[in-house]
Amino acid sequence: MVNHESDCKTEQESLKRVLVEEYEEKVFYFCLKKTGSSTEAEDLASDILLNCIAQLDKGNVPEQFAAWVWKIARNRYSVWAGRRHWHAESVSGEDIGEMEIAVETAGLEETMVQQDELRLLRRELAFISSEYWNIVTAYYMDGRKIREIAQSLHLPEGTVMAKLHRARTKLKEGMDMAREFGTRSYNPEHVNFIASGSQPSGLPWTAIQRMIPMNILCEAHNNPSTVQELAVELGIALPYMEEETELLVRAELLKKLDNGKLLTSFFISPVECQNEINEIVCTFGEQHAKALWDLAGVALEKAKGLGIPTGEYSEEDAQMYFALFLEQRLEETAVSNGIYESFRRADGGTWGLMGLEEGAHQRLPASFFNHNGNYRGGLSWDGFQTMPGERTFWKRRYHGDVPDCRLNTTLKELVEGANPADFSDVEQEHLEDLIDKGFCVCRGDGPVVVNAVVFQNSADKKLMDVMKTVPEYISLWEEMRQLVSEAREVVSHYAIRYLQEDFLYYVAMSLTELRSVFARLWKDTGCYSGESAQFCAFYC
C-alpha cells in the first residue's frame, strides 16, 4: 500500500530545505530593496519565510515553487507596507513580527501604544515554553540570525524557522487575550505536611520547603493541569515553571499523565475532610478512652508476666506507654500492617506523604503524640513524643526523641547484662552519652539499665499474641475497624479515584490524631496524672 501522507511530509521537508538554502538570501535582498532598511528587511524576510513554512506545514505543496514563494513575498510586503503607513490604534490582531520600534519623531499617543504592545509582548514571553522562548528571545531580543540560532541549538534552520513561526502565532494569540492570574499569584496557600517511612535522600521534605512547589502541588491536587496553566495560576514565567514541575516529577510528588497534564501524586486533605474525620475521632475517643486505658493495665500485667522490663518508668508511666502501644497496634491492624512504609521510592526510601490544609478544628483538645524512632543492625528504638513546649505533657524524660542509632549496640549489651566496667573506651563514651540524655539510668551502686520498655527476643509479638485473645481487645479491634471504614468513606469523598489504591494510607495518616485525643482524655479524666512527654521502647 502506498503511504501518500508519508510522501507528502517528505516533500514538505525537502521544500523547506530548498527555501532556507536557496531563497533566504534572495528574499532578504528583495526586502532590503523594498524597505531601504536592513533591520526592517530582516523582519520582513523572516515574516515571508515563516509564512511559506506555515503553508507547507498545512500541506500546501505548490507545483511552481519559485512563483509561489514570490507571490507570498509580494503579498506579505503589501501587508507590511499598509501597516507601515497605517499603524493600528490597538494591539488586537497585531503580529509580534510587525511591531515597530518607536522613532524619535513619534507622537505621544503612538509611543504609548507601542509601550503597551511591548508590555503585552513581555507578558506573553513569560508564558511560552522554553523550546520557543530560547528562539524568540535570540531572534527578536538579541538580533541573532536564523543560521546562528540553528547552530547554537544544534537544530536544522528549517526547524528553527518553523518554531519561530509557531511562537509568533502563540504570542499573537496571547497578546489578544485578557489574561487573569490565579489567586495563588498573590495569595499563596499554606499547607502542613506529614510523612512516614524511611527517607534516605531527604525526600520528600527537601522538595516542599518553599512556597512555589507547595502551591504547585496545591493547584495540581485533584486538578490535572498543564505547565502553562500552572504558570498562569501562580503568575510565574513558564521556563521557571517547567523547571519547578520537572523537579517535582523527579521527586515523585507530581505525576505526568498520558495527556501531558500534571497531577499531584498524593492527597492534600482539605479543611472539610479533616473536620469530618476529627469529629469521628473525637466521638470514638469519648466512647472508648476508659476501655483502652483499662486494657493497657491488662497489657502491663501480661508484660510483667513475660519478663518485659520497663526501666525507671513508674507504674502509671508504663501503663501510659502500653495504652499508646495498644492504640497503635489496633489502628495498624485495622488498616493494614506495614501501611506506613508501603511505598517503594526511586531514592530507595519507603516514604509516604500527606498534606493538610491549614484551618481545621476539632471539638476536643489534643496533645499531639508523634511516633518516632531509629533502626540499625536489627535493633530499634521507638516511642511516642509530644512536641517540646507542649503545655499538658511538658516534662521531658529524654534529651532528644531518640538516641543516635549507632548507640543501639551499647543498649543491647546493657540489656544482655554486660558489665560497663568491661566496656572499651568508645563504648564508655557511648554509655556516658546515653546516661547524659536520659536513655539509660545508673541505679546508685547497682547496674546501669535502659530507661524504656525493653522488648527482647520478639517479646512484643508474644505480648500481642496474648492480648489478641483478650475479649476486650477483640471488641476494641472491631470498633477500630468500623472507625477506619467511616474515615475511608470520608477520604474517598474528597480524593480523586486516581489515589484510591492508597486511600487506607491516607486514612492511617489522618487517624494519627486519635492517640492525641486519647492522651488528653486520659489526662483530663484522671486516668493519668503524670506530666511526661515521652514513652519509648527498645527492641533487640
Cβ contacts of 385-394, under 8 Å, gap ≥ 24 = 385/533, 385/534, 385/535, 386/533, 386/534, 388/533, 390/533, 392/367, 392/520, 392/523, 392/531, 393/367, 393/519, 393/523, 393/531, 393/532, 393/533, 394/531, 394/533
Lowest mean pLDDT among 11-25, 282-296, 370-384, 519-533: 11-25
Cβ contacts of 296-302, under 8 Å, gap ≥ 24 = 296/320, 296/322, 296/323, 296/325, 296/326, 297/322, 298/467, 298/470, 298/472, 299/325, 299/326, 299/463, 299/467, 302/463, 302/466, 302/467
Helix H or strand E segment including 44? helix 38-57
Within 58-107, where are the H helices? Answer: 65-85
Residue boundaries of the structural domains of the chain: 4-175, 183-265, 269-399+453-539
Residue 103 has a pLDDT of: 34
Position 263 confidence tier, pLDDT thresholds 50, 70, 90: very high
Secondary structure, 3-state, 305-325:
HCCCCCCCCCHHHHHHHHHHH
Q: Please state, in angstroms and rounded to a whole number, the distance separating the CA atoms of residues 230 and 305.
A: 61
Contact (CB, 8 A) for 61 and 52: no
- pLDDT of residue 402 exceeding 80, the answer is yes
Residue 146 has a pLDDT of: 85
Q: Please state, in angstroms and rounded to a whole number, the distance separating the CA atoms of residues 54 and 284.
A: 67
Strands (E), 351-507: 352-357, 370-376, 379-385, 440-442, 448-450, 453-455
Mean pLDDT of 158-184: 67
Same fold, 4-175 and 183-265: yes
Helix H or strand E segment including 39? helix 38-57
Longest dimension (CA), the chain: 108
Position 8 confidence tier, pLDDT thresholds 50, 70, 90: low
- Nearest of 301, 328, 295 to residue 315 by alpha carbon: 301
Residue 505 has a pLDDT of: 95
User: Could you tell me the fold of the domain covering 4-175?
Assistant: Arc Repressor Mutant, subunit A (1.10.10)
User: Could you tell me the fold of the domain covering 183-265?
Assistant: Arc Repressor Mutant, subunit A (1.10.10)
Residue 231 has a pLDDT of: 86
Q: Please state, in angstroms and rounded to a whole number, the distance separating the CA atoms of residues 171 and 122.
A: 10
- pLDDT of residue 250 exceeding 60, the answer is yes
Phi, psi at residue 399, to the nearest 5°?
Answer: -90, 95
Residue 455 has a pLDDT of: 97
DSSP label at residue 78:
H
Lowest mean pLDDT among 151-155, 326-330, 382-386: 151-155
Residue 33 has a pLDDT of: 83
pLDDT above 90 covers a percentage of the chain that reads: 51
At 425-459, the pLDDT tens digits run 999 999 999 999 999 998 777 789 999 999 999 99
Pairing of strands 268-269, 352-357: parallel
The residues facing 355 across adjacent strands are 193, 268
Position 235 confidence tier, pLDDT thresholds 50, 70, 90: confident
Is the pLDDT higher at 64 or at 134? 64
Contact (CB, 8 A) for 153 and 160: yes
**Set of cell numbers at residue 338:** 506495614
- pLDDT of residue 111 exceeding 90, the answer is no
Is the pLDDT higher at 124 or at 516? 516
At 453-462, the pLDDT tens digits run 999 999 999 9
Residue 85 has a pLDDT of: 58
Number of other residues whose CB lies within 10 A of the CB of residue 431: 21
Contact (CB, 8 A) for 490 and 504: no
Q: Please state, in angstroms and rounded to a whole number, the distance separating the CA atoms of residues 117 and 96.
A: 9
